Chain A
Amino acid sequence: MLTPAERVMILRAADLLKDAEPRHLLGLAEVAREIEILKGDCLYREEDPADVLYMVVEGRVRLSTGGRTMSEVGPGEAFGTWSLVDDSKRGHRSDCVEDGLTLALHRGEFYDMAAGDLTLLQGIIRLLAKRLRALVLERPGEARVEGEGVEKPEAVVEAESAAAARPASGGD
């Protein structure tokens, strides 16, 4: 049986929760469930709805799609993170390749707990916004929302051109 502190440390491994402060994770730690996994167990299939986040405590889990292995997840790592915010199908399957233990956090329980913790929700939204901003910078064309303009304001274009035209800084 994991202690609450151990659960919190494991939860911090999840991408979406890594910036959350420890006390805010304590509530989630209380509702997370320990699930023993045995070699050969299938935790979920491709067509299953994504509604649980798993964190590996011990053992290893293989993630695959169409028979092709995508990755293997070991102790201290999380998978199915985005099930907390997205209810689409999994799109891949997970199978246990080494006996162990996982910590599972169901989306419903996550929201029940987060409903009373505005700070936790704000932190997650902030993280999502940061990711979205990075994605927009990386692929602006793909990130465009239908109906919104793609052209930058003229003043910003001018400023960027002038910055590019400035002589490169040399040594002093």
Chain B
Amino acid sequence: MIGTLLTRLLDALTRQLSLEAHERRLLLLMGALVSILFCAYTIAKVLRDALFLAEFGALALPYGYIGVALAAAGFVWLESRVALRFKRVGATRFNQYAAIGFSLVAAAVFPIARHWTTAVFYIWAGSQAMMLLPHFWALALDVWDSRRARTVFPLLGSCGLIGGLAGGAYAAWATPVVKRDGLMWSLSALLIVSHLLTRVIERHRARRTEPIEVSQTVSAWAIILRSNYIKVLAAGLALSVIVSTLVDFQFKLFIQKLYPDPHALTQFFGKFYVGLNALSLVFQLSAGGWLMYRLGLGPTTGLQPVTAMMFVAGLALGGGWWVVLAIRWIQGVVFQTLGKSSAEIYFMAVRPHERRRIKPAVDTLVDRWSDAAVGILLIVLLRVIGVGETVLAVVTVTFLAVWIVVLVFLNREYGRAFEQTLSTRWLEPDVAEDSMRTPSARKALLQGLRADDESRIVLALKLSERSRDKEIARAVTSCLRHPSPSVRAAAVGAMETMRIRDEDTAIPGFLEEPHDSLRCAAVRYLLARSPQPAVLARGWLDGNDPALRQHAVDALFDRPSEGRAALTLEWIDVRLKAGTPGDLRVAARALGAMTGSAPVKRLRTLLSGPDVEVRRVALLSAARRPSPELLDVLLPLLLLPELSYEARRAVSAIGARAVPALDSLLDGTHGPRAQTLAARTLAHIASPRAVGSLMTLAKSSEPGLRDLGFRSLTRVRVETDKPVLPRSAAHQLFLRELGEYRRFLEPARSLEGIAAPEVRLLADTFRESAESALQRGLGALACWYEPKPLSGAFERLKSREPGAAAPALEYLGHVLPRRIFRHVSRIFEPQAVKGLETPVVEGEPLADSIRAAWRSEDGWLRACAVRASRHATGFDARLFATGGGDNTLVLAELEALSARNATC
């Protein structure tokens, strides 16, 4: 009976949490493990506090805090050594063996040497024993993603609280029987059981796909120091510990006065932890998860300083014994439940391999060093200065205020951390530049520059351009003597960028080399370094070497001031008159280096000529010297595939004055390709008028045009780095597309079970329409918000892999207002997904889908619906008699359907 009830309860829980069968088993095991760990830890805390207060008194606690901090630092260092040598599993085992060893020794030695054992036990319980819990949470974070963590972690936390409750109860009521010695032996037994359970769980986890674990070469400290987010997180954790330690110290001062007898004190602490854990459990199961979802992460975390403030106020106002105890319980409940869960979720924004490295270190070290800081502060205040409890309360309130400020920063950095995760598809140029300066990058560059492989040297030379290191500069210069002309050309290019002098005057000799790119690089370098570049260039321009002439013009094109001095219209006209393709290309290129209106007429002639390459070069020059007078010749070139790219650049360079001409291509009279090209060009122009034209597309009733509009607007957003729409407009457009997404996704899902190719075509078309709507929706958001993470969010949201959407939802939940995100979570949260699925029954979902497709204005979707109607038994095809319009796709299918029905 009880077994059946338990099984039903487990089934309900599994459904509620959307767990697989093997995950349920894992959850049970982890629940059991965390219960035993908390039970053991609670017994350890009871013993630690009771023994210490009895043996040394509350005023000695600050020394205890310092001792614990030093011991914690030592254990963390030792653990990091172990982690560097072994994988994480090895480090966890080490911790467990150490804990079991210590507890056994303490239990054995306590009757003989009470005083020293008490001191060592206090230090051990506050340092090494604490490290067992972070390892458990690190294990849990590996198993579940961030969205499921919000539902599973409170449950695991509840299991821990039940364990804590049991531990406290055992300590409270078994002490008269087993005494404190017996409690110590019980602690050892529990630690041995937890170790055995951990081994079982690890074997169970081995069946799942594991990331490749490699020995680490970067220390936890290096990871912490290089991340702003982790530093702010550590600061937030430290302040929470400082405040809770101050609160706890004041509480113990108060309690010690009430319980002078050591056994009574032990029993009191046992009962205190029972009450604390019981209240925490009730809170966790009732309001904990609900608060997290309703208020969000930031406000939930903010409840902690509020409850701490209540305790301080209660104590300061001289509340009675029960008042102080009650408020201490409330403060303890909030810290233990919401505090722990939210801290674990803040860790989710750290990358998994870094999280595994730093979490135990941050959890333990921040806790203990914060305790030590409190210890030192209390020693100074109480022993050195000799202040009273009122001053202690004021100090506590000050720390509370600082903590609230840090929490605000932490919340902001949390959103940024996810933004970064979703955006990292490429390395930003400034990040690449910074990365070139690191010692390891310098070493790699030097190795590359001295390598035997030519392509490796060329790559190293390109990367060296960002370096300012002298040794690298010397290595670059030495590449001038390399036998390969490609390497020498790359070296000359790097020397030009790095502004390195050619001490050996080797480069002028390269002008006589047969290798074209080497000559080109030499021309550029010599022009860049010459005191009289115009004179030097004129020599090449008037010379007999056409290749050198071309290189000179190309170099002058990139150096307009020297170009204006060296090139003349007379020289250009001579080239134009010569009329050969080579001369025309050189003339076209040279016109790009000229200023004024004179080049425009000549460019018009070249742009209208027959040679594609000449027109291409002329377009590049037109982009350099934009003029609205050239619009009439540029627009037709925009539609030529072979010249479209260059023409787009030339038209964009004209700017806002080109918008009316581009609007004429947007109306569709020149075809869809012209619309696309015009939209892309408008996106490059990015002026307010251009954005206005693109908005017309984004608000169109045709999905294809809206698609084009949003993609172009996103391009504007990226190029200008400024929002292109008001936030409210972006939200409105997003919700419209989200509604479309849902409208198309439901029929796609309902048709999933039907195998007929025609129905599969309809289902896939619905899904395609849904994904397009989703992409448009995120494109609408990108008109206000950062586009890069939204692009990453789209890829994850459309993925059908479980757990892939979690980081995207985490990010959207953080940046969007709650009333907007609610619409997203309704569609994408796991519980919502179940609600959207309908049982697949032949006939009905198909008929509904066909009707839904017919109601849309999408010709292709309608055509697929007509096609699929052959499989909808009992479907009334008279629906197709109305509203078919003149869409050729639909008409073709209707005709085929009639012909089929006629033969049947």
Where the two chains meet, the residues of A that have a C-beta atom closer than 8 Å to any C-beta of B are 3-6, 8-9, 12, 21-23, 26, 115-116, 155-156, 158-160, 162-163, 166-167, 169-170, 172
A4 touches which of B641, B765, B863 (Cβ 8 Å): B863
B residues less than 8 Å from A158 (CB atoms): 214-215
B860 touches which of A6, A23, A162, A167 (Cβ 8 Å): A23
Q: In the docked arrangement, what's the CA distance between A22 and B748, Å?
A: 13
B207 touches A169 (CB 8 A): yes
Given contacts A4-B892, A158-B214, A169-B203, contact A9 B768 (CB under 8 A): no
B25 touches A5 (CB 8 A): no
Scoring B residues 657 to 698 as 1 if CB is less than 8 Å from chain A, else 0, what string do you get? Answer: 000000000000000010010000000000000000000000
B residues less than 8 Å from A26 (CB atoms): 860, 889
B200 within 8 A of partner (CB): yes
Extra contacts, 13 of them, besides A5-B892, A156-B214, A172-B29 (Cβ < 8 A), are A3-B892, A8-B761, A9-B757, A12-B761, A22-B764, A22-B860, A26-B860, A116-B676, A155-B214, A158-B214, A159-B214, A166-B206, A167-B203
Residue contacts A-B, CB under 8 angstroms, 14 given: A3-B889, A3-B893, A5-B864, A5-B867, A6-B867, A9-B761, A22-B864, A23-B768, A162-B87, A166-B206, A169-B204, A170-B203, A172-B29, A172-B203
B145 within 8 A of partner (CB): no
With both beta carbons as reference points, the residue of chain B lying nearest to A13 in the complex is identified as B757
With both beta carbons as reference points, the residue of chain A lying nearest to B199 in the complex is identified as A167
Which residues of chain B in 158-201 are interfacial with respect to chain A, using CB atoms and an 8 Å cutoff?
Answer: 200
A residues less than 8 Å from B212 (CB atoms): 156, 159-160
B896 within 8 A of partner (CB): yes
With both beta carbons as reference points, the residue of chain A lying nearest to B672 in the complex is identified as A116
Q: In the docked arrangement, what's the CA distance between A6 and B757, Å?
A: 10
State the Cβ distance, B425 to closest chain A Cβ, in Å: 14
State the Cβ distance, B210 to closest chain A Cβ, in Å: 8
State the Cβ distance, A163 to closest chain B Cβ, in Å: 8
B765 touches which of A22, A155, A167 (Cβ 8 Å): A22
B746 within 8 A of partner (CB): no
A116 touches which of B204, B673, B860 (Cβ 8 Å): B673
Q: In the docked arrangement, what's the CA distance between A156 and B215, Å?
A: 10
The secondary structure that dominates the A interface is: helix
B761 touches A5 (CB 8 A): yes
B896 touches which of A3, A116, A169 (Cβ 8 Å): A3
A residues less than 8 Å from B207 (CB atoms): 169
B213 within 8 A of partner (CB): yes
Q: In the docked arrangement, what's the CA distance between A12 and B760, Å?
A: 11
B758 within 8 A of partner (CB): yes
With both beta carbons as reference points, the residue of chain B lying nearest to A26 in the complex is identified as B860
Question: What are the 5 A-B residue pairs with the smallest beta carbon separation, nearest first?
Answer: A155-B214, A3-B892, A21-B768, A159-B212, A5-B867
B residues less than 8 Å from A166 (CB atoms): 206
With both beta carbons as reference points, the residue of chain B lying nearest to A162 in the complex is identified as B87
Q: In the docked arrangement, what's the CA distance between A70 and B212, Å?
A: 43
Q: In the docked arrangement, what's the CA distance between A156 and B211, Å?
A: 11
With both beta carbons as reference points, the residue of chain A lying nearest to B864 in the complex is identified as A5
A residues less than 8 Å from B641 (CB atoms): 115
Q: Which of B204, B210, B214 has the most CB of A within 10 A?
A: B214
State the Cβ distance, A110 to closest chain B Cβ, in Å: 15
Given contacts A22-B860, A159-B214, contact A5 B893 (CB under 8 A): yes
Q: In the docked arrangement, what's the CA distance between A172 and B398, Å?
A: 52
Given contacts A23-B765, A172-B29, contact A9 B758 (CB under 8 A): yes
Which residues of chain B in 197-247 are interfacial with respect to chain A, using CB atoms and an 8 Å cutoff?
Answer: 200, 203-204, 206-207, 210, 212-215
A172 touches B200 (CB 8 A): yes
B204 touches which of A5, A8, A155, A172 (Cβ 8 Å): A172
A residues less than 8 Å from B673 (CB atoms): 116
State the Cβ distance, A121 to closest chain B Cβ, in Å: 14
Q: In the docked arrangement, what's the CA distance between A42 and B38, Å?
A: 79
With both beta carbons as reference points, the residue of chain A lying nearest to B26 in the complex is identified as A172
Which residues of chain B in 738-785 are interfacial with respect to chain A, using CB atoms and an 8 Å cutoff?
Answer: 757-758, 761, 764-765, 768
A residues less than 8 Å from B758 (CB atoms): 5, 9
Q: In the docked arrangement, what's the CA distance between A3 and B867, Å?
A: 10
A residues less than 8 Å from B896 (CB atoms): 3, 6
Q: In the docked arrangement, what's the CA distance between A16 and B860, Å?
A: 22
State the Cβ distance, B214 to closest chain A Cβ, in Å: 4
State the Cβ distance, A34 to closest chain B Cβ, in Å: 14
Q: In the docked arrangement, what's the CA distance between A26 and B858, Å?
A: 14
With both beta carbons as reference points, the residue of chain A lying nearest to B867 in the complex is identified as A5
B residues less than 8 Å from A12 (CB atoms): 757, 761
Q: Which of A5, A9, A163 has the most CB of B within 10 A?
A: A5
A residues less than 8 Å from B87 (CB atoms): 162
State the Cβ distance, B217 to closest chain A Cβ, in Å: 9
Q: In the docked arrangement, what's the CA distance between A9 and B863, Å?
A: 13
With both beta carbons as reference points, the residue of chain A lying nearest to B200 in the complex is identified as A172
Q: In the docked arrangement, what's the CA distance between A170 and B204, Å?
A: 8
B residues less than 8 Å from A163 (CB atoms): 210
A residues less than 8 Å from B214 (CB atoms): 155-156, 158-159
State the Cβ distance, A115 to closest chain B Cβ, in Å: 7
B residues less than 8 Å from A167 (CB atoms): 203
Q: In the docked arrangement, what's the CA distance between A83 and B765, Å?
A: 27
B residues less than 8 Å from A155 (CB atoms): 214-215
B893 touches A172 (CB 8 A): no
With both beta carbons as reference points, the residue of chain A lying nearest to B866 in the complex is identified as A5
Which residues of chain B in 845-904 are interfacial with respect to chain A, using CB atoms and an 8 Å cutoff?
Answer: 860, 863-864, 867, 889, 892-893, 895-896
A residues less than 8 Å from B895 (CB atoms): 3
Q: In the docked arrangement, what's the CA distance between A72 and B764, Å?
A: 29
Q: In the docked arrangement, what's the CA distance between A9 and B868, Å?
A: 12
With both beta carbons as reference points, the residue of chain A lying nearest to B768 in the complex is identified as A21
Q: In the docked arrangement, what's the CA distance between A167 and B206, Å?
A: 9
With both beta carbons as reference points, the residue of chain B lying nearest to A168 in the complex is identified as B206
Q: In the docked arrangement, what's the CA distance between A76 and B207, Å?
A: 40
Q: In the docked arrangement, what's the CA distance between A164 and B753, Å?
A: 40
A21 touches which of B25, B29, B764, B867 (Cβ 8 Å): B764
A residues less than 8 Å from B892 (CB atoms): 3-5
Q: In the docked arrangement, what's the CA distance between A171 and B764, Å?
A: 41
Q: In the docked arrangement, what's the CA distance between A162 and B86, Å?
A: 10
A residues less than 8 Å from B893 (CB atoms): 3, 5
With both beta carbons as reference points, the residue of chain B lying nearest to A167 in the complex is identified as B203
State the Cβ distance, B714 to closest chain A Cβ, in Å: 15
A residues less than 8 Å from B203 (CB atoms): 167, 169-170, 172
Q: In the docked arrangement, what's the CA distance between A3 and B864, Å?
A: 11
B residues less than 8 Å from A170 (CB atoms): 203
Q: Which of A12, A21, A22, A156 has the most CB of B within 10 A?
A: A22
State the Cβ distance, A54 to closest chain B Cβ, in Å: 19
State the Cβ distance, B774 to closest chain A Cβ, in Å: 13
